[in-house]
């Protein structure tokens, strides 16, 4: 490649102006000394398929997908997408290989890597996952693949939690893991048990709200993780602290790590994440 021609990458969604992805990916590229130009693409539902095709026809290297197009991206890349994206029914990373569009969902890997950074290896851990929307669907299989001993999915609409559990069981029948984790699902009050890791994968925190879950019994050294991030601890994190969680963390680290996983798919190298995470945390504090 001519060093003056940067690799083109982008994030596509609607709205898109708020996306931190260009900052994150430019920091990765700088750290690895790769010429990357990463843009935001605003598009409408009618235009999505054409914009994706056009991006890759013009030599685009990698595309991130955000709200509301992750399911559309899954449909486009379904023939060549990873099992974790199949379960999620959603794709946040697209690329072309052998002239075919490929898709993956890096949310789960991003979460697992961030949990490891926080000292939480999932092997043998009891995990309570709150939520059954796109984010929960994206992380369920990776949490089990990372060794969780048990996983309970609870949701405001319990039937969605049951449905996700059924799909997870089906996937595990087709592609079994080394161990057999114990799986359960229920409504928000079904919190019985003791938990090492509790993950809020609902969007309640975006409205400064929290899921009205039953009392949670946190094991010693337990970690509570909210996928939403902000300048202050979320209402979920505050409740978790009151109910005994030893560590309460927001999802900024997951945001950066899922981006690092996309970058690694496109460029074959996982970039360092510490500096950009610290920079974004600082930006969040200063903008509050």
Residues that bind ligand NDP (CB under 6 A): 107, 110, 131-136, 155-157, 160, 201-204, 206, 209, 211, 227-229, 251, 254-255, 258
Closest approach, Cβ 280 to ligand NDP, in A, equals 11
Among residues 70, 123, 152, 232, which one is catalytic? 70
CB of 94 closer than 8 Å to CB of 123: no
Residue closer to ligand NDP (CB basis): 135 or 144: 135
- Give residue number: closest CB to ligand NDP: 133
Alpha-helix runs per DSSP H in the chain? 21-32, 48-57, 70-77, 83-88, 107-117, 134-145, 158-174, 235-242, 252-267, 274-287
CB-count exposure of residue 199 (10 Å: 0-12, 13-18, 19+): buried
Residue closer to ligand NDP (CB basis): 216 or 254: 254
CB of 141 closer than 8 Å to CB of 84: yes
Residue closer to ligand NDP (CB basis): 64 or 258: 258
Closest approach, Cβ 111 to ligand NDP, in A, equals 8
Phi and psi at 189, nearest 5°, equal -85, -10
Residue closer to ligand NDP (CB basis): 56 or 162: 162
Closest approach, Cβ 90 to ligand NDP, in A, equals 8
Residue closer to ligand NDP (CB basis): 145 or 153: 153
Residues 6+ apart with CB under 8 A from 81: 74, 91, 102, 103, 104
Q: Which two tokens stand for residue 164?
A: 């996700």
Residue 70: active-site member: yes
Closest approach, Cβ 115 to ligand NDP, in A, equals 12
Closest approach, Cβ 21 to ligand NDP, in A, equals 10
Cite the active site residues: 70
């Amino acid at each position: 490649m001519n060093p003056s021609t940067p690799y083109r990458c982008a994030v596509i969604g609607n709205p898109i102006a708020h996306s931190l992805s260009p900052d994150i990916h430019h920091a990765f590229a700088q750290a690895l000394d790769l010429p990357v130009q990463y843009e935001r693409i605003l598009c409408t539902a009618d235009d999505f398929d054409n914009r994706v095709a056009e991006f890759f026809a013009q030599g685009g290297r990698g595309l991130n997908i955000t709200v509301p197009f992750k399911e559309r991206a899954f449909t486009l890349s379904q023939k060549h997408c990873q099992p974790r994206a199949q379960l999620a029914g959603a794709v946040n990373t697209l690329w072309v290989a052998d002239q075919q569009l490929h898709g993956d969902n890096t949310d789960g890997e991003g979460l697992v890597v961030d949990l490891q950074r926080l000292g939480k290896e999932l092997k043998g851990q009891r995990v309570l996952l709150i939520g059954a929307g796109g984010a929960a669907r994206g992380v369920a299989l990776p949490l089990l693949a990372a060794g969780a001993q048990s996983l309970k999915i609870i949701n405001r609409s319990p039937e969605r939690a049951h449905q996700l559990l059924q799909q997870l069981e089906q996937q595990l029948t087709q592609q079994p893991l080394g161990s057999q984790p114990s799986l359960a699902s229920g409504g928000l009050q079904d919190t019985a048990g003791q938990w090492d890791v509790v993950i809020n994968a609902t969007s309640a925190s975006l409205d400064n709200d929290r899921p009205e879950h039953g009392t949670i019994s946190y094991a010693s050294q337990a970690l509570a993780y909210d996928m939403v991030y902000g300048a202050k601890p979320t209402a979920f994190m505050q409740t978790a602290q009151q109910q005994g969680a030893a560590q309460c963390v927001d999802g900024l680290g997951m945001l950066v790590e899922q981006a690092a996983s996309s970058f690694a798919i496109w460029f074959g190298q996982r970039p360092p994440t510490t500096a950009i995470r610290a920079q974004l945390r600082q930006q969040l504090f200063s903008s509050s």
